[in-house]
Structure 1
């Protein structure tokens, strides 16, 4: 199965459990792996025959900007739902990072992987 990677996608979202986290959007990073059949795109060399990663990035940006989840797990799950609804992906692995949220850690992240049913 073929894969498309998007790594280090910078997003902003109102997310967090604590009151101080909910005063303004927080920076987030997404690392994404999309499994899809890319044979037609490889033959045609046409963006219409593949998953347009600019549109994927835009989709995730919209989800993040319009949400107000408390947990990374909930936002990541919502992102996966939208990707399956809007793109012909077979499987998705999404790592959602919240950098610099803990004083003694450079990053906190969740990674969810789902397969189209």
Structure 2
């Protein structure tokens, strides 16, 4: 199966368990792998035949901006569900990173892989 990658997408979200995390939005990073058959756009060279990755990025950014989840696990799954709802992909791997949360670690992240019939 073919893949489209969106890497290092920066989004803002109100996320966290602690009161101090609920005062302002936080920077999160999203890496997405979209599994889809890209043979038609590869031969047609026509943008209308492929997944519009800018629209995928906008959808994920909107989910993050409007969410109020405590856990990045819940937000990651909401992002996956929105992608499946809007776009014809068979499988998604999504990594959601919270890079600014631990002073002694570069990053904390969760990663989910879901197929359309599993979401």
Report the TM-score, using the length of structure 1 for normalisation.
Answer: 0.98
Matched, 1:106 2:73: no
1:57 maps to 57
Distance 1:4 1:98 in 2: 23
**Structure 1 spans left out of the alignment, 5+ residues:** none
SS at match of 1:89: coil
Report the TM-score, using the length of structure 2 for normalisation.
Answer: 0.97
CA RMSD, aligned part only? 0.5
Given that 2:101 and 2:107 are in contact with CA atoms closer than 8 Å, whether structure 1 keeps it comes out as yes
Q: How does 1:75-86 map to 2 (within 5 A)?
A: 75-86=75-86
Moved more, 43-52 or 25-34: 43-52
Q: How does 1:86-101 map to 2 (within 5 A)?
A: 86-101=86-101
2:40 maps to 40
SS at match of 1:107: coil
Matched residues, number: 117
**Which of structure 1's runs of 4+ aligned residues deviate more than 6 A?**
none
Given that 2:27 and 2:100 are in contact with CA atoms closer than 8 Å, whether structure 1 keeps it comes out as no
SS at match of 1:99: coil
**Structure 2 spans left out of the alignment, 5+ residues:** none
